[in-house]
Structure 1
Amino acid sequence: MGGTYTLLIQLAAPTDIEVGALGTHRFEAGWYGYTGSALGAGGFSRIDRHAEVATGERDTRHWHIDYLLGHPDATLAADVRTEADVECAVARALPAGPVAGFGASDCDCPSHLAYAPDRETLERAVESAHEQVR
């Protein structure tokens, strides 16, 4: 079974990253939460694919998040999962991110990427957002 997930990603240093058609954007050092859905036959195995991009095992960039995860200063630290199709509700409940439209090309959300300066703040926000929709 699949559902909605939020990846917790640490970016060790500020950097400019080209994010496909969204262009080049500045990412500050800190913590990022990317919310996506894994509703197909593979379910949450999509998270394994994201992990492969983060570790360099996979180079292909299909989604906006691949550009952040593929950067050498980015580390995929954890994920939070909810077995329901609540991707946009979770994304809207999180703090704003630095890139308008990030991960939201198929919906009307401002972004599916959240930012917080530290892990504790981001983790608390992500867990709360997932709890609200369960």
Structure 2
Amino acid sequence: MASGTYTLLIDLPEAATITFGAAGERDLDEGIYAYTGSAFGPGGFSRIDRHRRVATGDNDARHWHVDYLLGHPGTRVAAVVRSVDADIECAVSRRLAGEPIPGIGASDCDCDSHLVSCGQGSGIVGDVRRVHAAVRESSRPR
């Protein structure tokens, strides 16, 4: 099973107040949010399928901060960018353009956030792909 780092591009169609479990409430504007995670455990990238099931309402379990956003009505996974066999979660999250949502998605590292508000626009997927590629390139042994 393939594993690595992924970024979910999540479309929030209208502004909402989301309660992220113990992390508390955050007021989010409508737009695209990028959540970067890693999938190195059992099942690898099958974690992405689980995230999609939460977004469609087929799974009500809330294990990670992003599940609270994905479980909000109307939210959908608009795209996924993957970097196979690359452990670059924190570096990608830090380099994404946008406004980090403090305290969300980074409870197992020293980052402030792994959820970034990217606003709206058609070029966001390409931007995230370029960040993944640049970080992969910069992390290769020389």
Q: CA deviation at 1:120?
A: 2.4
* Aligned-CA RMSD value: 1.2
Give the CA deviation at 1:101.
Answer: 1.7
Secondary structure class of the residue paired with 2:97: coil
TM-score, structure 2 length as denominator? 0.89
2:29 equivalent to 1:45: no
* Matching residue of 1:125: 127
Q: Tell me the percent identity.
A: 54
Residue type at the aligned position of 1:125: D
How do residues 1-134 of structure 1 correspond to structure 2 at under 5 angstroms?
1-83=2-84, 84-134=86-136
Letter matched to residue 78 of structure 1: A
Map Cα deviations across residues 74-122 of structure 1 (whole Å, 9 max, x no partner): 1111100001111001111113445212110111112101112214243
The alignment partner of 2:122 has SS state of helix
Displacement of 1:50: 0.2
For the pair shown, which has the larger CA radius of gyration, 1 or 2? 2
Question: 5+ residue gaps in structure 2?
Answer: 137-142
Using the size of structure 1 for normalisation, the TM-score is: 0.94
Bigger mean CA offset, 99-108 vs 88-97 = 88-97
